[in-house]
Amino acid sequence: MTRQRAAVSEALDRLDDFRSAQQIHDVMRQGGDTIGLATVYRTLQALADHGDVDVLRTEDGESHYRRCERDEHHHHLVCRGCGRTIEIDGPTVESWANTVGAAHGFTGIEHTIELFGTCADCAAAAAARAGD
């Protein structure tokens, strides 16, 4: 463990929604950390491999990272408006995925599941704006 890796980990603790590697790098520099962009990328990837951060591929192909709270396999429900993220587990989908895969003779099933929606706060805000 190096100073830089610890700093990335700390930065992730302060942030609580998905951010790109570059955003994390910017935040760290503004917070006074001296760290190179390449190192941020490397560290985030290492953390992701280790299962310490969640990775989300945005629609335009960027990877966004976020400290994950739980160790087990899980998915996300992300608000389109504010980016608030809720970690969810789904025994239902896990078994569904395996069943569907097995039904077609597939083994070693893995799955990618992400949910997007508008959270109650953002929906209320949108309604207020529309009411003006």
Partner DNA sequence: GGGCTAATTGATAATGAATGTCAAAACCGT
Partner DNA sequence: ACGGTTTTGACATTCATTATCAATTAGCCC
Binding flag, residue 61, its own copies (CB under 8 A): yes
For residues 86 and 115, what is the distance between their CA atoms, to the nearest angstrom?
A: 10
CB of 48 to its own copies, least distance (A): 12
Residue in the structure block whose two tokens are 């990618």: 112
Of the ranges 20-28, 69-77, 79-87, 100-108, which one interacts with DNA (CB under 7 A)?
20-28
**Interface with DNA includes 9 (CB under 7 A)?**
no
Residue 83 binds its own copies, judged by CB under 8 A: no
Start-to-end C-alpha separation, the chain: 54
CA-based nearest residue to 68, from 81, 91, 52, 57: 52
Give yes or no for residue 42 binding its own copies (CB under 8 A).
no
Of residues 84 through 113, those in contact with its own copies by CB under 8 A are: 86, 88, 90, 92-93, 96-97, 100-101, 104-113
Does residue 84 touch DNA according to CB under 7 A? Answer: no
**CB-based burial of residue 71 (10 Å sphere; 0-12 exposed, 13-18 middle, 19+ buried)?**
exposed
Per rule CB under 7 A, is residue 43 in the interface with DNA?
A: yes
**48 is an interface residue for its own copies by CB under 8 A:** no
Q: What span, in angstroms and rounded, lies between the C-alpha atoms of 43 and 90?
A: 29
Considering only residues 96 through 115, tell me which ones interact with DNA, judged by CB under 7 A: none
